[in-house]
């Protein structure tokens, strides 16, 4: 006989089970997502160029696709819950004169999203590239494929393939030797693949930078220090957060991935100190963070459960995945419940944060989370990958494990 108390807990879980969907070209369909048990869709209008206004018409078109099944002529048990990402234009990050108009357009997009009932918006302030990996098909110990960041391979690319000016100055002598050895041992085909893996553009765009384009992009950041980038972020937040607050929206900045400086680019959202500075730039319920265990996890000094305990009231959106640190700055993405991240402690802290919000009468106690990335495994190994890290079965496994972990913790806390 099913325990009715457990059923009540399952239907009133602390976290909103969500899933990132890349749109009509995603091989993981909305019907697939419904079968996963997730009901919050994490999505963006990837076809709209960065900097252009998201119109109400375009937002509603995509909402209808998400929420209505044309084949069955029935509503889906899905809703567009989180925008990931309403990307910040590079001109805003660089503080160029045109940033003011771009910020006004960004605010218009926020207003249009609010009109459509979408109130959580994730963004990042990473210069040029989004998340960076050196290997998109790393063979995990069980034979599945995972994402990996090899710090030595990245240095080899930076020094010997990209040939960035003064690149060597960013690495220790030992790392330079390791990078040279790595470069001399790989084939031309492996060098080409490494280049392609690193120069992936914004997720969902399908773009890959050329070496020449990337060098030009990097050169435009030559004069931008961490202090300048941080001030440009502050300028952006001081402009958009009041609008978001008026609209009842939640903005949440995603941490840097990896949380270390690469290619001489400044990193300003990598540690708890960074997150605290960001949230204190303008004290508003609309100014928060996307809590990502996979981005914060590679740094051993990041106390992941402690960040929730201290900054949980500023967490508007959650990414849960695990990483296995390899000891030299490298890491690979492990199973969701196995790796360097104590996922039990993280989940317990999130459940307690949700319960605290509920006791305070906050209406945002159901914190949306998604199983971030997932191994390519089982039948998905035979399918063409559309977006690396976002195959169906690996994320389904992650969601099932995280859902069970949450339910068990909730039951223990309430018993």
Cis omega (within 30 of 0) for bond into 85? yes
Determine if the peptide bond prior to 258 is cis (ω within 30°): yes
253 vs 269: CA distance, rounded Å: 8
Q: Are 147 and 374 in contact (CB under 8 A)?
A: no
Closest to 109 measured CA to CA, from 247, 207, 202, 288: 247
Under a CB-based contact definition with an 8 Å cutoff, are residues 39 and 77 in contact? yes
Asked whether 380 and 396 are in contact (CB, 8 A), the reply is no
Please tell me whether residue 119 adopts helix, strand or coil conformation.
coil
Question: Is-contact 316 288, C-beta < 8 A?
Answer: yes
Across 62-71, b (16+ Cβ under 10 Å) vs e yields: bbebbeebee
Dihedrals phi, psi of 160, to nearest 5 degrees = -105, -20
Whole-number Cα distances in Å, 153 to 38, 129, 344, 364: 36, 17, 32, 42
Residues 6+ apart with CB under 8 A from 149: 132, 133, 134, 135, 258, 298, 330, 331, 332
Identify the burial level of 277 via C-beta atoms within 10 angstroms of its C-beta, where 0-12 means exposed, 13-18 middle and 19 or more buried: middle
CA–CA separation, 408 vs 45, rounded Å?
36
CA 271 to chain centre: 15
Question: How many Å apart are CA 146 and CA 153, to the nearest integer?
Answer: 16
Q: Which residues are catalytic?
A: 254, 292, 319, 372-373, 390
The residue whose two tokens read 């995972």 is: 146
158 in helix, strand or coil?
A: helix
């Amino acid at each position: 006989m099913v325990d009715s108390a457990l059923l009540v807990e399952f239907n009133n879980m602390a976290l909103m089970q969500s899933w990132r969907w890349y749109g009509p070209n995603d091989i993981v369909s909305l019907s697939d997502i419904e079968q996963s048990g997730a009901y919050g869709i994490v999505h963006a209008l990837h076809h709209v160029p960065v900097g252009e206004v998201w119109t109400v018409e375009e937002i509603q078109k995509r909402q209808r696709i998400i929420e209505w099944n044309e084949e069955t002529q029935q509503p889906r048990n899905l809703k567009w819950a989180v925008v990931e990402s309403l990307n910040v234009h590079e001109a805003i990050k660089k503080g160029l004169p045109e940033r003011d108009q771009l910020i006004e357009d960004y605010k218009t997009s926020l207003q249009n999203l609010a009109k459509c009932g979408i109130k959580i918006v994730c963004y990042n302030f990473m210069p040029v590239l989004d998340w960076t990996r050196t290997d998109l098909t790393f063979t995990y110990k069980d034979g599945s494929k995972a994402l990996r960041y090899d710090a030595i391979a990245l240095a080899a690319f930076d020094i010997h393939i990209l040939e960035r000016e003064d690149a060597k100055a960013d690495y220790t002598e030992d790392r330079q030797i390791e990078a040279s050895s790595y470069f001399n041992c790989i084939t031309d085909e492996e060098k080409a693949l490494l280049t392609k893996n690193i120069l992936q553009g914004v997720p969902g765009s399908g773009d890959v930078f050329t070496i020449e384009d990337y060098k030009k992009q990097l050169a435009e950041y030559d004069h931008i220090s961490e202090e300048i980038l941080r001030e440009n972020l502050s300028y952006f937040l001081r402009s958009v957060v009041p609008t978001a607050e008026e609209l009842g929206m939640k903005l949440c900045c995603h941490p840097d991935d990896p949380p270390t400086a690469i290619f001489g680019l400044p990193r300003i959202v990598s540690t708890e100190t960074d997150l605290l500075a960001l949230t204190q730039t303008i004290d508003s319920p609309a100014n928060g963070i996307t809590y990502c265990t996979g981005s914060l996890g590679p740094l051993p000094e990041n106390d992941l459960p402690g960040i929730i305990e201290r900054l949980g009231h500023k967490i508007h959106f959650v990414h849960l995945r695990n990483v296995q640190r390899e000891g030299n700055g490298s890491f690979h993405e492990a199973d969701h419940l196995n790796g360097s991240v104590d996922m039990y402690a993280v989940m317990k802290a999130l459940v307690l944060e949700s319960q605290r919000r509920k006791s305070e009468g906050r209406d945002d106690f159901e914190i949306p989370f998604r199983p971030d990335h997932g191994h390519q495994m089982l039948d998905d190994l035979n399918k063409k990958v559309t977006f690396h890290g976002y195959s169906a079965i690996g994320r389904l496994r992650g969601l099932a494990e995280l859902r069970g972990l949450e339910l068990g913790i909730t039951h223990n806390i309430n018993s």
